[in-house]
Amino acid sequence: MNVVVIGGGAAGLKAASRIRRKDAEAKITVVEAGKYVSLGRCGLPYYIGGLVHEIDNLRETTYGAIRDENYFKRLKNIDILTLTKAIEIDRKKRTVRVVNNGKEDELNYDYLVIATGSRPVKPPVEGIDAEGVTTLTSAEDAEKIIEMWEEGAEKAVVIGAGLIGLESAEALKNLDMEVTVIEMMDRVAPTMLDRDIAILVEKHLEEKGVKVLTNTRVEKIVEGDGKVKGVVANGKEISADLVVVATGIRPNVELAERAGLKIGETGAIWVNEYMQTSDERIYAGGDCVETNHLVTGRKIIAPFGDVANKQGRVIGENITGGRAVFPGVINTAVFKIFDFTVAATGVNEAAAKDAGIEYMSVIAPGPDRAHYYPGTAYIRLKLLVEKGTWKVVGAQAAGMGEVAKRIDILSTAVQAGMTIDQLSNLDLAYAPPYAPALDPVITAANVAMNKRDGMFEGITVFELKEMLDREDGIFILDVRSEDEFERNHISSEKVANIPLLELRERLSEIPRDKEIVIVTVCALGLRSYEAARILKGAGFEKVKVLEGGMAFWFE
């Protein structure tokens, strides 16, 4: 059997390796347009930031062998042709025309794997090709950024506050540069996060000295002496001697398209659940294909390294006679930004609305381990629950603690179709260094059940701000301690402070006017829930809890 793989990234090499593991005899050739194969591109920001010391670390095995052409040949008997571009597929003859350094060649295949990946999209603005403007998707990009820094670049602008943009911002800040992030949408990580969780991330970025400009559109890149000088956005110029463009990717489908393979509704290559294209001899995987979103049922592009690896395995399995399936994804993602971990899975509010899912949302913060254990940090966790079925359909979280763990538990639960009632009794691993007795995941499920069952009514910071702006009849009851209240509170004359423990004794201080909505407020949302129950028990009717507590408040 003769297999040609186009693309030496995660999907292509995983497919090639799996084929070799199952078939000792197959001839396997991988064609790669770039200089390297198997580069862990997700590690590039950490290479720039200095956490990863050598670019070669990003293409090593766990035991320190460099995954280059020699490695693949000697270990796996796989031929790798680097700096070689596939330029045409002839499906009738089953050949691929390739070109290396101007020399053309033709490779025969019994099976072909297309893993051509994606390329960064640059916004079509003046000056975008100026010297000093770069993307961050290759080793060369990373080397160029480091070179500019070494040559004295001090001010960086990152265009796009998606995952790569934010990771780049941290890396550049870690090099002591002055960093501004510009985002067109109203929040950072807009495809991943809702605005409330995004606010936490934006606050943390500002705390760490990174300037974030949301709702801001780049109009022009200013050049001087043949080099970038600044970025004009919303009419103002921000000076910059280094610009990183991270405004998304586009799948490389041209080769497949020219060969007449079916392109899906997303613009990526269509494949079935076996990762087979519309030609049964041709498989495809990685950033260049579309896949299913298992919650919405929609087709999406999921350009993540883990997805490419899983798809590559399925391809290799099926080319060698297997019948493996890749069902799809639920857009689980995580990123580190300074001391914060930010993660999400399933749908966010925008995606739920778009897919017509009727949902209820709750925000439930909690400590990531027993609160008395050293190093405990608070996680802000948001759940989206489908009304009626009460299944969890999405989750987002941010904080300094073990956020990724909770999102992985929830991701598994979403994929299993678990309800909040099932989550509430989930048997998770409890010991003080790892979780509180009720894990934040379980607390969130309990809060969601309380909300469903009418035990409390929540109000978001956005709704509360609007009520204050409209000057509605409102009384804000902050039930934190006096010290906490002194440190920061909602600046409005409608705020009163009664520490929770004193509330039953001081109920007379709260207005009994039926027109007034009482909003209870605390640090995390736990005391204010307790306060709301006390008020309800005492006959107050319109009582709402500020969901998530003061961490979400912004003036």
Catalytic residues: 42
Binds its own copies (CB under 8 A): choice among 262, 387, 504, 514: 504
Residues from 513 through 552 that contact its own copies (CB under 8 A):
522-524, 526-527, 530, 533-534, 536-538
485 binds its own copies (CB under 8 A): no
> Which token pair is 346?
């399933």
Binds its own copies (CB under 8 A): choice among 99, 222, 400, 428: 428
309 binds its own copies (CB under 8 A): yes
Binds its own copies (CB under 8 A): choice among 187, 451, 480, 544: 480
What's the sign of the alpha-carbon dihedral 269, 274, 276, 282?
A: positive
Helix (H) or strand (E) holding 458: strand 458-459
Binds its own copies (CB under 8 A): choice among 263, 438, 507, 516: 438
Query: What are the backbone dihedrals phi and psi of residue 496, each rounded to the nearest 5 degrees, phi first?
Result: -125, 150
Does residue 484 sit in helix, strand or coil? Answer: helix
420 binds its own copies (CB under 8 A): no
- On whether the CB atoms of residues 511 and 503 are closer than 8 A, the answer is no
Separation of alpha carbons 12 and 14, rounded Å: 6
74 binds its own copies (CB under 8 A): yes
Residue range at the interface with its own copies (CB under 8 A); choices 39-47, 132-140, 199-207, 488-496: 39-47
Q: State which residue, 125 or 426, has the beta carbon closest to its own copies.
A: 426
Euclidean distance between the first and the last CA atom of the chain, given in angstroms as a whole number = 66
Residues from 79 through 138 that contact its own copies (CB under 8 A):
none
Residues from 349 through 408 that contact its own copies (CB under 8 A):
366-367, 370-374, 402, 404-405, 407-408
What are the DSSP E strand ranges found in 225-339? 227-233, 236-239, 242-245, 249-251, 282-284, 291-292, 299-300, 333-337
Binds its own copies (CB under 8 A): choice among 116, 345, 361, 528: 345
Residues from 130 through 169 that contact its own copies (CB under 8 A):
163
Burial-class residue 66 by CB neighbours within 10 Å (0-12, 13-18, 19+): middle
Q: State which residue, 247 or 291, has the beta carbon closest to its own copies.
A: 291
Residue range at the interface with its own copies (CB under 8 A); choices 28-36, 229-237, 246-254, 300-308: 300-308
Residue range at the interface with its own copies (CB under 8 A); choices 28-36, 124-132, 335-343, 490-498: 335-343
252 binds its own copies (CB under 8 A): no
Beta bridge partners of 211: 180
330 binds its own copies (CB under 8 A): yes
> Which token pair is 119?
């390329």
426 binds its own copies (CB under 8 A): yes
Nearest approach, Cβ of 107 to its own copies (angstroms)? 23
422 binds its own copies (CB under 8 A): yes
Residue range at the interface with its own copies (CB under 8 A); choices 131-139, 144-152, 206-214, 337-345: 337-345
Nearest approach, Cβ of 77 to its own copies (angstroms)? 7
Nearest approach, Cβ of 151 to its own copies (angstroms)? 26
Binds its own copies (CB under 8 A): choice among 10, 139, 246, 381: 10
What are the DSSP E strand ranges found in 355-502? 359-363, 366-367, 378-386, 392-399, 458-459, 474-478, 495-497
Nearest approach, Cβ of 51 to its own copies (angstroms)? 6
Give exposure, 479-504, as e/b (b: 16+ Cβ within 10 Å). bbbeebbeeebbeeebbbbbbbeebe
Separation of alpha carbons 419 and 441, rounded Å: 12
71 binds its own copies (CB under 8 A): yes
DSSP state of 350: H
Beta bridge partners of 81: 31
46 binds its own copies (CB under 8 A): yes
Long-range pairs, 144-150, Cβ under 8 A, ≥24: 145/48, 145/172, 145/242, 145/244, 146/48, 148/241, 148/242, 149/175, 149/177, 149/242
Separation of alpha carbons 393 and 352, rounded Å: 8
